[in-house]
Amino acid sequence: MTEPQVKKSKVFFIASGVSLFLLSIALSINLVIPTFLLTLVIYLKVRKTALKHCKILHLVFIFVLVLVVSYLIITHGGSRFYLPFLVAPMLVTLLFNQLEISLLIVLATSLTLASIAGNHLHLGIVFLTSGLLSSALLLNVRRRMTIIRAGFIVGFLQAALLFFLDRFWVLPSEVYWKSYGIAVANGFLSSIIVLGILPVFEYLFKTITNISLLELADFQHPLLMRMVQESPGTYHHSLVVGNLAESACNAVNANALLARIGAYYHDLGKLQKPHYFSENQTFTESKHDALAPSMSKLVIINHVKEGVELAKKYRLNPRIIDFIQQHHGTSLVYYFYRRALENLEDDQEIKEEGFRYPGPKPNTRETAIVLLADSVEAATRALKDPIPQKIDEIVHKIINNKFIDGQLDDCNLTLKDLESISAVFIRILGGIYHSRVNYPEERKETKNA
């Protein structure tokens, strides 16, 4: 860690500590709680791998929001069973889909709210148990109805916990039968609240949930409909890349749904000039035959920039735009680079950098897998005789070239992952582009009159 980074970390920790202690004084919280919260913040700051697509600020915002609402409920005479505790673990699980982060927010929120409610330990146990269950139920969720069902289940769990604690004389006498109904309603209403505010938090945090991804998978989406009508070859290519990427992600425990949807939209930029790309050409002559290699290169490279602009126009999520920007990384447009070298005159100089995509390189496993799937699908489709040996050879060659070229430097794919990805690609591409049997033509017998 460099000296500026060390100073920045020290300032961050001091500011976090001071803020937590001031908040504890303002809300009359036991000083043990801010010390515990600061420990969690330090843990998250040190364990950077836990924060894949969320920031500590995001978690703090959700925590403070639930804390302030709960404090207002208590100070205005509301029952402790009205506290919207479940909103925090449900939101965090849906937004970031990381069980470790969800468990940490459950710990922080349950103990803090128990402290606000009069250092009520057993209420903290109820919150902790229900929060853990809600996180487990909503991990990898894909349907809105599952969120409602989880709210019901957790609500009944809260009521059951209150009942047993009450029967054993652990809770005060305020626990009446009415409180059990409130506990069930609390879980249900928390799920309704989460469903309502989820799109807002997706926008604020620039993240995307599985539910939103499935909405983008609808083939009636305007951009996908345009691809069907204006660039059908690119549309079919994107579907195949999506299937390849999804299967490869499953093999290496990456986000398969995100990769599949990202692959559907990765070539949006080709909508601007569809007939300049081979998969959309229905005639023998290419439009690039009449262009200089430098002009062809600009047309090809610009489809990334144009795709980003189109995605922003249709307000696609930034996580999807990453696939558009990164699906070529800084790769070389090899074909037109070779053509430029062949047409090179004595007084000319062709720089390789001028024929490379602007990047950035893939910075997640999912975008890197889509880059590989995009390349191997295009190369396999170009094979004249796609026998298994050639498919195996071309897949390994392309993945090795991308690795050597440094396109996978910024993602955390291992060599073992790349081998698993290769095996998946070879199996699926072999099923799609296998050689066909040449059936003999049926002979028509002629009868002599």
Indicate whether 219 and 241 sit together in one domain. yes
Q: Is residue 439 part of a domain?
A: no
Helix then strand then coil, % of the chain, to nearest 5:
70, 0, 30
Indicate whether 260 and 196 sit together in one domain. no
Indicate whether 32 and 98 sit together in one domain. yes
Which residues form the domain of 351?
210-432
pLDDT digits 0-9 by tens, 260-312:
999 999 999 999 998 888 888 776 677 777 788 888 889 899 999 999 999 99
Nearest in space to 41 (alpha carbons), one of 14, 66, 16, 75: 16
pTM (two decimals) = 0.84
Residues in the chain: 449
Q: Is residue 70 part of a domain?
A: yes
Provide the pLDDT for residue 280: 82
Encoded tokens for 238 = 């994107």
Q: Hunting for tokens 């204006």 — which residue is that? A: 230
First to last CA, the chain: 96
Nearest in space to 114 (alpha carbons), one of 129, 102, 125: 125
Q: Is residue 254 part of a domain?
A: yes
Q: Say if residue 322's pLDDT is above 70.
A: yes
Last residue within a domain, chosen from 158, 185, 205: 205
Q: Is residue 445 part of a domain?
A: no
Give the integer Cα–Cα distance in Å for 307 and 238.
14
Provide the pLDDT for residue 6: 46
Q: Is residue 113 part of a domain?
A: yes
Indicate whether 160 and 286 sit together in one domain. no
Indicate whether 44 and 101 sit together in one domain. yes
Quickly list H helices, 76-117: 87-96, 99-116
Give the integer Cα–Cα distance in Å for 375 and 326.
13
Q: Say if residue 5's pLDDT is above 60.
A: no
Output the domain CATH number for residue 139.
Answer: 1.10.1760
Return the biggest CA–CA distance within the chain.
111
Indicate whether 167 and 223 sit together in one domain. no
> Are 362 and 408 within 8 A, CB to CB?
yes
Q: Is residue 447 part of a domain?
A: no
For residue 423, give the H/E element and its range. helix 415-432
CA-only gyration radius of the chain, Å: 28
Residue type, 138: L
Give the integer Cα–Cα distance in Å for 38 and 103.
16
Give the integer Cα–Cα distance in Å for 231 and 225.
10
Indicate whether 285 and 368 sit together in one domain. yes
Higher-pLDDT residue of 162 and 426 is 426
Indicate whether 375 and 244 sit together in one domain. yes
Encoded tokens for 42 = 């330090």
pLDDT digits 0-9 by tens, 164-221:
776 654 455 555 567 788 888 999 999 999 999 999 999 998 899 999 999 999 999 9
Q: Hunting for tokens 């860690």 — which residue is that? A: 1
Secondary structure of 16-68 in HEC code, one letter for each residue: HHHHHHHHHHHCCCCCHHHHHHHHHHHHHHHCHHHCCCCCHHHHHHHHHHHHH
307 by DSSP, 3-state: which? helix
ω into 360 cis (within 30 of 0): yes
Q: Say if residue 1's pLDDT is above 80.
A: no
pLDDT digits 0-9 by tens, 334-386:
888 788 877 776 566 778 788 899 989 999 999 999 999 999 999 998 888 88
Q: Hunting for tokens 């600009």 — which residue is that? A: 298
Residue 234 — pLDDT band, cuts 50, 70, 90?
very high
Contacts of 52 (CB under 8 A, 6+ apart): 96, 98
Indicate whether 367 and 346 sit together in one domain. yes
Provide the pLDDT for residue 350: 76
Q: Say if residue 24's pLDDT is above 70.
A: no
Indicate whether 250 and 375 sit together in one domain. yes
Provide the pLDDT for residue 279: 85
Nearest in space to 128 (alpha carbons), one of 192, 85, 178, 65: 85
To the nearest 10°, report the CA torsion of 274, 277, 280, 285.
110
What is the distance, to the nearest Å, from the Cα of residue 426 to the centroid of all Cα atoms in its chain? 25
Could you give the C-alpha distances from 400 to 99, 100, 422, in angstroms and in order?
A: 34, 34, 10
Count of CB atoms situated within 10 Å of the CB of 402: 21
> Are 395 and 429 within 8 A, CB to CB?
yes
> Are 337 and 293 within 8 A, CB to CB?
yes
Indicate whether 154 and 39 sit together in one domain. yes
DSSP secondary structure code for residue 448 in this structure: P
Give the integer Cα–Cα distance in Å for 361 and 356.
12
Indicate whether 146 and 239 sit together in one domain. no
Domain count, the chain: 2
Could you give the C-alpha distances from 97 to 68, 77, 209, 210, 253, in angstroms and in order?
A: 25, 35, 8, 9, 13
Q: Is residue 18 part of a domain?
A: yes
Last residue within a domain, chosen from 155, 182, 205: 205
Encoded tokens for 271 = 């909508």
> Are 266 and 374 within 8 A, CB to CB?
yes
Listed range (27-31, 255-259, 384-388, 390-394) with the worst mean pLDDT: 27-31
Give the integer Cα–Cα distance in Å for 212 and 436.
40
Output the domain CATH number for residue 240.
Answer: 1.10.3210
Last residue within a domain, chosen from 160, 179, 205: 205
Q: Is residue 441 part of a domain?
A: no
